[in-house]
Structure 1
Amino acid sequence: MVPRPDLPELRYWTEMHYRPRRLLCHLCGTTREWTAERQGNALIAATLGGPDDPFFERPLWLQTPCCNKVLWAYNGRHVDVLEAYVAARLRERAGYPAMSMLDRLPAWMKKARNRTEVLRALQRLRSRLELSAPSDRPDAAYPGRGGAGARPVRAPYFRPPY
């Protein structure tokens, strides 16, 4: 998933939730487009978080079971940040509380007793970055094959377009 290359430069970081997206698969040639829905004068933003792609609602490539939950990441940089945070013995706050992704991580990922298992799961995600064949994809990528199957219904998230 990439932002469309023909768009003007961002003015505000929140625009990322509304910008048109393009899904490209270099292996099978699949191409899809996503644009934010409109409800009256409001745009409905993509809902970030969870083991599904926020724009195309497909299961993420980088997901693995961990501590009876699903640990997921969007890309290699996301894995790096999570790994650095979980591995840290002392976690100091920088900036405003509850404003960063790390402040909003679930409690099970932050607990010291789960550190080893979470780091092991992050290594599994890192090894998955090297895989590209369809047979390497997680079962969750194929509904009906023991994977995610039905998705939970998400309420629309309203934000003004300004």
Structure 2
Amino acid sequence: MERFKDTREDIYSFQNEFLVRCPCCNSCAIVRCIDPDKVDLFAPRRFSCTACGSSKDWSQKKIESWYSEALDNYFHYPLWLQTSCCGETLWAYNLQHLEFIEAFVRAKLRERKAHELHGWSNQSLFSRLPKWIQSGKNREEIIKAIAKIRESVVTLT
């Protein structure tokens, strides 16, 4: 039986890199920290597209989070990793985020335990995923949608 254990990763754990749709050429581009050693939420970011050479920098002290929309938090470009699924939009910031969602969905047993100091909380992405993703009845459709998203990445290489 496939098992998923909550690692207490939150949505911020996946925001060091975003695969986005380039607004200039519609290809897959990337938004990531300019300095790989400085990866906090407000670290300067760079958008870059290898297909057309587009580039843009972000360095502010305020971001707008778009958790319910398939956009990056810095330039607000559409995410590359997205598709329709179960009447909703399934999206991921990057491949690691997609792998997290896939591991969660595939698991028939999902385990969670209280934090040693803080007890039960719902800050982890595990507890914050939308109900339609958490529902076992959508498992097969979501797994097919994830495969479709992966194909969009494979065709890039």
Matched, 1:74 2:98: no
Tell me the alpha carbon deviations over residues 104-126 of structure 1, each in whole angstroms, 9 at most, x when there is no partner: 00000000111111111111111
Q: CA deviation at 1:93?
A: 0.8
Structure 2: gaps spanning 5 or more residues: 1-30
Structure 1 position 54 matched with structure 2 position 73: yes
Deviation at 1:101, TM superposition (A): 1.2
Deviation at 1:76, TM superposition (A): 1.2
The structure 1 residue matched to 2:63, chosen from 35, 45, 51, is: 45
| Runs ≥4 residues deviating over 3 A | none
2:16 is matched with none
Q: Which residue of 1 aligns with 2:102?
A: 83
Q: How many residues align?
A: 121
1:97 Cα shift? Answer: 2.8
Between the two proteins, what is the percent identity of the paired residues?
34
Helix, strand or coil: the match of 2:43? coil
How far the C-alpha of 1:16 sits from its partner, in A, is 2.4
Superposed CA offset, 1:114-152 (max 9, x none):
11111111111111111339xxxxxxxxxxxxxxxxxxx
| Partner residue of 1:19 out of 13, 26, 43 | 43
Cα pair 1:17 1:46 within 8 Å, conserved: no
Q: Contact 2:70–2:91 (CA<8 Å) still a contact in 1?
A: yes
2:32 is equivalent to residue 2 of structure 1: yes
TM-score by length of 2: 0.70
Q: Which has the higher strand share?
A: 2
Inter-partner Cα distance in structure 2 for 1:60 and 1:92: 29
CA RMSD of aligned residues (A): 1.9
- CA distance, structure 2, for counterparts of residue 17 and residue 120 of structure 1: 32
Using CA pairs under 8 Å that are at least 6 residues apart, name the structure with larger relative contact order, 1 or 2.
2
Task: After TM superposition, give the deviation of residue 17 of structure 1 in Å.
Answer: 2.0
Task: Please say if residues 18 and 46 of structure 1, whose CA atoms lie closer than 8 Å, have aligned partners that are also in contact.
Answer: no
SS of 1:102's partner is: helix
Deviation at 1:48, TM superposition (A): 4.8
Amino acid in the other structure paired with 1:68: G
Tell me, in whole angstroms, the C-alpha distance in 1 between the residues paired with 2:45 and 2:52.
Answer: 18
